[in-house]
């Protein structure tokens, strides 16, 4: 946005809302922006803590690739194998 566009919007909002209401709107917008920054900062800190904790935790052990290949060759579907009603007889 150019300076002239920002100036025009400022003058238009001053005419529409008036000086008292415009000051109140500006204050509310500033408070909302500060609250958004605080929430964003807290989210980043918590995400960083979770990533750090996950990095320190024991890694998840996956089954060896041969075992996965054997299940595929048998035609076993992991989603339906534990639900008897979905097996076709």
Mean pLDDT of residues grouped by 10 in the chain (89 residues)? 90 89 92 97 96 83 67 55 54
Delimit the domains of the chain by residue range: 9-76
| Nearest-angstrom CA–CA distance, 6 and 12 | 10
pLDDT of residue 40: 97
Which residue has 């002239």 as its token pair? Answer: 4
44 phi/psi in degrees, rounded to 5: -65, -40
pLDDT of residue 41: 97
Full-model pTM: 0.50
pLDDT of residue 54: 84
């Amino acid at each position: 946005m150019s300076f002239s566009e920002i100036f025009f919007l400022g003058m238009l909002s001053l005419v529409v809302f008036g000086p008292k209401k415009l000051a109140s709107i500006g204050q509310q917008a500033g408070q909302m922006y500060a609250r958004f920054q605080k929430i964003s900062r807290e989210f980043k800190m918590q995400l960083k803590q979770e990533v750090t904790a996950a990095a320190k935790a024991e890694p998840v052990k996956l089954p060896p690739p041969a075992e996965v290949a054997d299940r595929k060759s048998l035609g076993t579907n992991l989603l339906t194998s534990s639900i008897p009603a979905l097996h076709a007889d």
